[in-house]
Amino acid sequence: MMNIQNLMKQAQMMQKKMQEEQAKLAEEEVEGTAGGGVVTVTLNGKYAMTKLHIDKSLIDPEEADVLEDLIRAAYNDAKEKIDARMNDSLSSLTGGLNLGGMKLPF
């Protein structure tokens, strides 16, 4: 049976690895697209939008609502990809152990 000191040491090591992984993921960029690629949004790991590309063919004042919907869809696509990467990363660190819905701090 493990003693409490070893258990605490392992928990601290896991916490450090998780913090390192969070910092690494925060620097990554993920691209989300909508409308077959006519709108592209790039987010960093903190969900901040770093780039936005809109195909010139979409810029029509009469269809602003369509453009707004596509931007929102592209953003959500990129956000889902970041969430998936974070979940994959946490799973690899915890060996698939379910930590009760624990979220990253950013």
Q: Is 0.85 topped by the overall pTM?
A: no
What is the percentage of the chain residues whose pLDDT exceeds 70?
87
Q: Are strands 29-34 and 49-54 parallel, antiparallel or unpaired?
A: unpaired
* pLDDT, tens digit, 9 for 90 and up, residues 24-75: 888 889 999 999 999 999 998 888 899 999 999 888 888 888 898 999 999 9
- As a whole number of angstroms, the distance between CA 85 and CA 54 comes to 25
Q: pLDDT value at position 106?
A: 45
Nearest alpha carbon to residue 15 among 102, 73, 81, 75: 102
| Residue, of 94 and 90, whose pLDDT is higher | 90
pLDDT at 73: 93
Q: Which residues partner with 40 through β-bridges?
A: 33, 53
